[in-house]
Amino acid sequence: MSLALSLNLSALLAPLAEPSAGVGLSIATLGTGTILLLFIVSLGTVGLAVLGALRRSERLIEGAVQATYASFGLAAFASSLIIYAFLAGDYSIQYVQHTSDAAMPLFYKITAFWGGLDGSLLFWVLLHTLFGSLAVRANRMRHRELIPHVVAVLATITCFFVGLLLFIKDPFSQFLLDVPSQGRGLNPLLQNAYMIIHPPSLYLGYVSLAVPYAFGMAALFTGQVDAAWQRSVRRWVLFSWMFLTFGLILGGLWAYEELGWGGYWAWDPVENAGLLPWFTATAFLHSVMIQERRGMMKAWNLILIIVSFLLTIVGTFMTRSGVVQSVHAFGSDPVLAWTFGGFMLVIVVVSFGLLLWRLPLLRSRGELESVMSREFAFLINNWLFLLCAIFVLAATMWPTFTEWRMILAERFPWALGWQDPGERVVIGPPFFNQYMRPLGLSLLLLTGIGPLLAWRKTSTASLARQFGAPLVAGLLATIVPWQLGIDSPWGLACFGLCGFTCWTIVQEFYRGVALRRKQRPQGVLEALISLVLRARRRYGGYIVHLGVVLMFLGWAGNAYKLEKKVQLRPGEEYTLGAYTIRHDGLRATEDWQKEMITADLAVLRGGEVKDVLQPARWWYYQLPDQPTTEVSRYMTPGEDVYVSMQEVDMTSGWTQLSLFINPLVNWIWIGMGVMLAGAMVCVGTRKSEAGDDA
């Protein structure tokens, strides 16, 4: 249906976009002109906001606010032009020709907007101006002193990205001579339903972190570093965290179902780029509670906001400059690399310079009274999250550093003296897993310990009362898998900590419901709902933690997965664990876009056919050298039977298959849903509960 609609739209719009008609040229010219106007408006916004703040002029500040709204309007217009060009099949525009073709379904033509480097930068500008407009509109009356500085910071960021579009990566750039008659098409790996949602989710999380950063900088500019600024950004950080989480897990699900290697996370540099700000945003959401409760960690929270935004720029730099090698990266561009490098340097110097200037105003009102306190648990939690971010960034960039060292040695041999520059280092998943595994389990342990500790200090009697049942649950969760034959120490530790943390969360809900039913006659479900609605941040956080436990449960199953590569012909069988895989034949089909070879594989258990899996290989006509692997799965709560086709010979029926049994893997995706549900509960925090939130 979508393919037919796409072709009909292309047929209707194509005559309008023909260069001979002059309209194709006008789209490109109008688009570039809009970007130029947006750049001028953004510069004007910075000027109006700065002058308005210096002169305390309401008229100038109002002009800057209105210019912020105008920036979004211009970004939206430019985005609509490029989308129109995709729908019309205007291949006179280079970006459209590189990432689209007439046979692509409608949805993929639209998602091609952010499928390449140029369009992704324009999409960034669109979201940034949207979020800036929403943040300014929501806070312009509540934070009159901060707003001109917020507008100036947001408009400066807009200037940078629009400048990239205007001077380096114009998405409306045209072919100067011969205009191609057809497009090359979007990367086949990106023509997947998950990729319609996954990149925008990451962009939403990335770009929205500019709003907390702008408020943090405004607080430092004005010296108003009390709790007002962080109350205005807490929900923004939570919003960013939600979409970063959703985007990261969707990316894992895409890799699991599309790439055919039986896994979902390979520590690829582009994957890691999205993970970095997630670590620091998560740390902020924990540490900000200490500032609210005890007036502590003011400077630390500002550091986390600065670093979180900086890491979004670092991630954009990594994926768009070519400094890291990845199948997901947009390619190499030295000019873009140096430009981003300069922007990051400015962010570091200005942000931390302001922080040092205002450091005397950021002294804590309270002090840490005991290591047996919730404050100390949150402090350790923050250190671990920051350590994770530093380690992942350093390990991701280390191969690049070694390559730079080699280049330096070639050009300036005297710089390294006698030292051998060596070769480019390759850091793979085993290295990341070796160090991230204990860090992850430590964070899971703290997730269980935190709710058991009191603020300020926890008494010995309270420790014994609180920890007894969770420790027993953790011990049982370790013993049961061990008795079932699980002998991986890391797997057993993960099961045990999942049991400990899950019981902690259940215990908190049980006590809250019991107390509420004691105060008034209510059913269990009614008491549970009213409890969550009454203290949304607290119990929404527990729901998020429950989702984390479920995801760790899914990761623990990786300790006893089965993997085999086999070659089968029609009629042959292979036994994998408790299942038998039977090859029932091959089918060759085609559609407007591609040729497809599909295998029919019966999955039997106990002689009964449980499912018929249909793994396939697809060859797109426009990009035949980039075949895709279409995975097929038999899913149960306990495990996945996962099959991908690697090679095939239609003459003999010979098929090379990768077979996997992935225990508990579906709990990862279930855990994601639970985490997002908990985050939605937290977003709905009442003003009486959390202050004046934006």
Q: What is the pLDDT of residues 22-69, one digit of tens each?
A: 444 479 999 999 999 999 999 999 999 999 999 999 999 999 999 999
Domain count, the chain: 2
How long a stretch of residues is the chain?
A: 694
Token duo for residue 254: 């895409």
In this structure, is residue 377 part of a structural domain?
Answer: no
Q: Is the distance from CB of 54 to CB of 144 less than 8 angstroms?
A: no
Flag whether pLDDT at 13 surpasses 70. no
Flag whether pLDDT at 255 surpasses 50. yes
6-12 LR contacts (CB < 8 Å, sep 24+): 6/104, 6/105, 6/106, 6/109, 7/102, 7/103, 7/592, 9/87, 9/106, 10/87, 10/88, 10/89, 10/102
In this structure, is residue 405 part of a structural domain?
Answer: no
Backbone angles phi, psi at 255, to 5 degrees: -60, -40
Flag whether pLDDT at 349 surpasses 50. yes
Helices first, then strands: H and E counts in the chain? 22, 10
Token duo for residue 44: 């004007």
CA–CA dist 455, 625 (Å, integer): 60
CA nearest 123: which of 75, 56, 65, 167? Answer: 75
Q: Decide the pairing of beta strands 608-613 and 616-620.
A: unpaired
Domain boundary among 133, 160, 186: 186
pLDDT at 414: 57
In this structure, is residue 92 part of a structural domain?
Answer: yes
Distances (CA, A) of 266 to 15, 256, 396, 427: 45, 10, 12, 11
CA–CA dist 186, 404 (Å, integer): 32
Q: Decide the pairing of beta strands 579-590 and 608-613.
A: unpaired
Flag whether pLDDT at 7 surpasses 80. no
Domain boundary among 130, 165, 186: 186
Q: Is the distance from CB of 111 to CB of 202 less than 8 angstroms?
A: no
Report the pLDDT averaged over residues 16-22: 43
Flag whether pLDDT at 483 surpasses 50. yes
In this structure, is residue 567 part of a structural domain?
Answer: yes
pLDDT band per the 50, 70, 90 thresholds, residue 659: very high
Domain membership of residue 66 as a residue range: 1-186
Domain boundary among 186, 213, 241: 186
Flag whether pLDDT at 393 surpasses 90. yes
Cα 310–chain centre separation: 15
Q: Give pTM, 2 decimals.
A: 0.89
DSSP conformation letters of 378-405: HHHHHHHHHHHHHHHHHHHHHHHHHHHH
pLDDT band per the 50, 70, 90 thresholds, residue 436: very high
In this structure, is residue 285 part of a structural domain?
Answer: no
CATH number for 95:
1.20.120
Report the pLDDT averaged over residues 392-410: 78
Report the pLDDT averaged over residues 254-273: 88
CA–CA dist 342, 324 (Å, integer): 18
Token duo for residue 268: 């690829």
The mean of the pLDDT values for the chain is: 86
pLDDT at 19: 45
Task: Provide the CB-side half-sphere exposure for 649 (13 A, CA).
Answer: 8
In this structure, is residue 454 part of a structural domain?
Answer: no
Encode pLDDT of 509-522 as tens digits. Answer: 998 888 888 888 88
Among 463-467, 473-477, 670-674, where is mean pLDDT lowest? 463-467
pLDDT at 66: 96
pLDDT at 326: 56
pLDDT at 20: 40
DSSP state at residue 631:
-
CA–CA dist 572, 584 (Å, integer): 8
Give the residue carrying structure tokens 């709204």. 69
CA–CA dist 156, 154 (Å, integer): 5
Q: Is the distance from CB of 326 to CB of 269 less than 8 angstroms?
A: yes
CA–CA dist 127, 207 (Å, integer): 7
- Residue 411: other Cβ atoms inside 10 A: 8
CA–CA dist 18, 24 (Å, integer): 6
Side by side, which strands form the sheet with 639-648?
562-568, 655-663, 639-648, 632-635
Task: Provide the CB-side half-sphere exposure for 460 (13 A, CA).
Answer: 0
Alpha-carbon dihedral 335, 339, 340, 341, rounded to 10 degrees: 100
Tell me which H or E stretch contains 644: strand 639-648
Higher pLDDT: 567 or 232? It is 567
In this structure, is residue 33 part of a structural domain?
Answer: yes
In this structure, is residue 412 part of a structural domain?
Answer: no
Give the residue carrying structure tokens 């940078």. 160
